[in-house]
Chains A and B, each alone.
Chain A
Amino acid sequence: MSEFVTIQVGQCGNQIGGAFWPQILKEYNVSIHQKPEKRTVSQSVSYNSLSSFFNLTNLSLRKSTECMPLYELLNNQVKARAVCIDMEDSVVSRFRTGPLKGLFDERCLLTNYPGSGNNWAEGFCEHGPNYKAKILKVLRHVVERCDSLHGFLMLFSTGGGTGSGLGTYVLNLLTDNYPKIERFVSCVYSTGTEDVITCPYNNALATYQLLQNATCVFPVENRCLLNIVSQKCRNNFYTKTDISSLFKPFEDMNNIIVEMLLHLTSGSRFPGSLNFDMNEINTNMVPFPQMHFLSAGFNHLNNSCATGLRKSSKQIKENNFLAACNRSNQMIKVEPLGSKSILLASTIIGRGDYTLTDLQSYTEKLQAKGKFTPWSRKCVKAGLCSVAPKNQSSALFSLFNTTGMYSLFENIYGQYNKLYRKKAHIYHYQKIDNFDSELFTECQESLLNVIQKYKELEQLVPVCIPRLKPLIE
């Protein structure tokens, strides 16, 4: 089993992490309640597969279909393979005392006081260098305990200071120190300056780093999450008894990110007759360097009873596919099958009772509806994962690399420019010791450059070079 190290940085990153771990455990039939109400029997999963996200020092776990309480797992010295970094203490301290107590290795929790003031430069240029040695030590500690480390999965927001600044600093450390290990980032973009006035700067500066150093980025926009949440509310989706009321107020939004992460990692955790491993994402989805921002989609209303109608499994499955391509279910504001954007690559993963036949009919539908470059029509990755999400018989997850992604960058650029033209707040950045003001212009250029690249692909004139002549002996 290939292994992953999860690195959560800042408030947002750790809040998402706080919601992620209980859910990932749930997929292995482990409950974070001290005593699960009933040891319900469910789909059998092999505890072996825990090893992709957990350290199993002395693996003596049997394969079981029974629900197991967390303490039993912890008694077997199972630990989350995670590094939690924050420059304040409030969120990470809950990992030391709350229901997840004992799940994290104490040595992998790094905190400090008093935060990064929502300032990317403070995180990147100040905390970064100050904590470099400590962070590298923690990373070494974690990496040494892996047999076949495949990737890092980073979680943070780009709008604040710690996640955005220190998060991208850590990302660069990974690039320098572990160049062969893939670096996946799921980052939260908050558009608008409602909560953080300097957010546009932080977004842009972080994005510049992500463009250079991440293997693949799965961006999430808070405004899309809000839409999805309200859509779910309208459909009476929430029964307010869920466990994750630990971390308000982003709870519902973060649960959606968690669902995405579970889908994304499912192929690396569970088998399937057309297995889809995380390490295949880069090869399949990134046709050119730097075009590695991917849009994820899945059905958020796929609880069949919520629709009030009993649908056949075929309809449910197909419905999941249509929903996964729909713009209202994307994690960022793009329209994968819209008339303007062009698809560079797509992935369709069926979880649960999907078959080859299903995937192929969806591939054909996608090819009929989407727009493509001269070479990308067949750039579709299909995968099957035999384990469905908890309490669902099937789910479908999609990833798109679409030229529409430039609207994300344009948005970041636009917001950034609004502030930068007035040189608003730049003093906060310039006062940080190691902050190089060039970064302001560099990140601008980098954004314009990537926007340009996507646009060129939209207007691509097909190259027509005749095929090679055979060798005639």
Chain B
Amino acid sequence: MSLVTLQFGQCGNQIGHSLYTILQEDILKKNSDKEVFYWEAVNKWFNINERGIWEPRSILIDTETKVLDNFKPSNLKFTSVVAKSIGGSANNWAFGYQENSKLVVSEVLNSVRKEIEKCDFLTSFLNLYSLSGGTGSGVGSYIIEKLRNEYPKKIIINCAVLPYVKGEVATQAYNSILNLAHLYPISDSTILFENEKMLHICKHNLGFTEVSFSDINSVISQQLGSIFQPNNKNQITTMINNLTAHPSFKYLQIKSEPNIKNGSYTFESSQQWSYLITALAKQSRYDIQQINNNTSFKHKLIANAVITRSVDPIPVGALNILRDSKDFVSWVPKNEQFRHFHTCREFLNYQKYICLLYNSNKIVLPLNTIVEDAWKAFTHGAYLHHYNKYNIDEDWFLNAFQAIETILNNYNSI
């Protein structure tokens, strides 16, 4: 059972690079049940070539080459690279979607076909990109659309990075809503990562004074790795699919533990399941801030899945605080609200690792800010000429706004 990843733009490629490095590290580390897990995991993510070199089942897509050139040599070999040296997509969704995507699409789809031929059985696509640039967001939208046409039955899971809220790209709000609106109907689930929240974790939980993208990316990759590494019970992708079974609620978010300062990791208490589960169930400081800014907000959960990885079993009942939350909506049957998957194997160098994948109305908080920003700029006509130039006109924008408002409204009214 394999996954094919598509990494788009600077963000997607940097995260992808970090993800596969972590996966390889996790697969190669010593473990008792080596055989079964080892081959399952290798086959899921890698193709090992005749010279024994690990080739990620991943396609690297960018419209400039500086990012890929800058990767340090490693013992992984990315073989499917579609990087055109055309100077990027100018932080403009329209440029990426309408122009640059057409220059890469056939090459990308060919690479996808080739990767699929190398797999025994492909279950799903994993797309990595940021929402605020032009390549990941715009080129990504176009390619994923084509992917859906060519593979109508495969599961498409997107991992999208939301920009830092205070602003890091002037057109970030436009690019984000254009991408989200475009991909919502054609993808199965979208896991949203907030750079702002990641930064918060790195600063306040991991105790870094200076945070770099590689720090943020390793947190993201660990979360993704812990979810997608093989699991002795079930198909992960089916589980994700179940979490987003209702077509009006397709956004997922992730929380994980432990997130503690380097060094303090050895403390006895932090290695107890009860400690980790309590930490996970608690609202994070970041979430509390967000909710306080939005007094009318009341948390509602649609569904949850917990993934645990350790040789130590979870004590009976320990997960009840997650399972019995009063926040669940009433219309989801009890047995679909909560699932737990335990794998009796350590993840990376964590004795215990726990990860929560949830579908809840919390996603409204960051998305609402983005729509607010985009709407303000739009009603003042700012920056629109860059989009009009590529035939993305006011009507296109209005449709995108309408689509997102509808998604937000659905989440708001649960």
A contacts, CB < 8 Å to B: 1-2, 46, 48-49, 147-148, 150, 268, 270-271, 273-275, 277-280, 282-289, 345, 355-360, 363-364, 367, 373-382, 386, 460, 463-465, 467-472
Contact = CB atoms under 8 A, between A and B. Distances in A.
Contacts of B30: none
Contact of B210 (A271, A357, A386, A471): A357
A179 to B, nearest CB: 11
Contact of A277 (B64, B167, B170, B385): B64
A460 B401 CA distance: 24
Interface in B61-76: 64-67, 69-70
A315 to B, nearest CB: 14
B208 to A, nearest CB: 8
Nearest to A379: B170
B169 interface: yes
B206 interface: no
Given A277-B64, A283-B92, A379 B380 contact: no
A359 B92 CA distance: 22
B63 to A, nearest CB: 9
A467 B369 CA distance: 12
Given A275-B67, A286-B386, 5 more contacts: A148-B87, A287-B170, A288-B381, A359-B168, A467-B371
Interface string B85-123: 111101110010000000000000000000000000000
Closest 4 CB pairs of A and B: A2-B87, A378-B167, A470-B409, A379-B170
B69 A381 contact: no
Contacts of A470: 402, 405-406, 408-410
Interface string B191-212: 0000000010001000001111
Contacts of A376: 382
B70 A283 contact: no
A49 B167 CA distance: 29
Contact of B87 (A150, A287, A355): A150
Residue from B86, B87, B165, B408 with most neighbouring chain A CB atoms (10 Å): B87
A271 B90 contact: no
A381 B203 contact: no
Interface in B141-195: 164-173
Nearest to B369: A378
Contacts of B85: 1-2, 147-148
Contacts of A288: 381-382, 385
B375 interface: yes
B166 A380 contact: yes
A289 B381 CA distance: 11
Contacts of A286: 386
B86 A2 contact: yes
B167 A467 contact: no
Given A148-B87, A283-B91, A273 B66 contact: no
A308 B57 CA distance: 55
B213 interface: yes
Contact of A463 (B134, B171, B173, B379): B379
Interface of B: 10, 14, 64-67, 69-70, 84-88, 90-92, 95, 134, 164-173, 199, 203, 209-214, 216, 371-373, 375-377, 379-383, 385-386, 398, 401-402, 405-406, 408-410
B90 A357 contact: no
Given A2-B86, A463-B379, A382 B168 contact: yes
B167 A380 contact: yes
A48 B65 CA distance: 11
A375 B69 contact: no
23 contacts: A148-B85, A273-B213, A274-B213, A275-B10, A283-B383, A287-B382, A288-B381, A355-B212, A358-B210, A363-B166, A363-B168, A364-B166, A378-B165, A378-B167, A378-B170, A381-B91, A381-B170, A382-B164, A386-B70, A468-B401, A470-B402, A471-B402, A472-B409
Residue from B65, B86, B167, B212 with most neighbouring chain A CB atoms (10 Å): B167
B166 A273 contact: no
A1 B168 contact: no
B380 A375 contact: yes
A148 B63 CA distance: 11
Contacts of A367: 166-167
Nearest to A289: B385
B14 A273 contact: yes
A345 B386 CA distance: 15
Contact of A467 (B67, B172, B209, B401): B401
B166 A274 contact: no
Contacts of A468: 398, 401-402, 405
Contacts, number: 160
Contact of A374 (B66, B134, B380, B385): B380
A39 B90 CA distance: 38
A274 B70 CA distance: 12
Contacts of A1: 64-66, 85
A470 B86 CA distance: 38
Contact of B88 (A279, A360, A382): A279
Residue from B66, B164, B401, B410 with most neighbouring chain A CB atoms (10 Å): B66
A360 B86 CA distance: 29
A378 B402 contact: no
A357 B166 CA distance: 13
B363 to A, nearest CB: 15
A457 to B, nearest CB: 10
Residue from B10, B371, B401 with most neighbouring chain A CB atoms (10 Å): B10
B383 A287 contact: yes
Nearest to A348: B168
Contacts of B212: 273, 355-356
A248 to B, nearest CB: 37
Contacts of A280: 88, 90-91, 169
Contacts of B91: 280, 283-284, 381
A388 to B, nearest CB: 16
B213 A356 contact: yes
Nearest to B208: A357
A1 B91 CA distance: 17
A313 to B, nearest CB: 10
Nearest to A359: B168
A275 B171 contact: no
Given A374-B376, A375-B376, A470-B406, A274 B87 contact: no
A283 B90 contact: yes
B14 to A, nearest CB: 7
A52 B67 CA distance: 15
A307 B385 CA distance: 46
A48 B410 CA distance: 50
A55 B8 CA distance: 29
Contacts of B67: 271, 275
A44 to B, nearest CB: 12
Contact of B373 (A345, A357, A363, A378): A378
Contacts of B371: 467
A456 to B, nearest CB: 12
Nearest to A353: B210
Nearest to A356: B211
Contact of B209 (A268, A274, A275, A357): A357
Contacts of B381: 288
B66 A275 contact: yes
Contacts of B14: 273
B87 A360 contact: no
A287 B170 CA distance: 9
Given A277-B64, A375-B382, A381-B168, A467 B375 contact: yes
Contacts of B87: 2, 148, 150, 268, 277-279
B413 to A, nearest CB: 9
Contacts of A359: 168
Contact of B171 (A2, A283, A374, A464): A283
B294 to A, nearest CB: 15
Contacts of B383: 283, 287
Contacts of B173: 378
A355 B376 contact: no
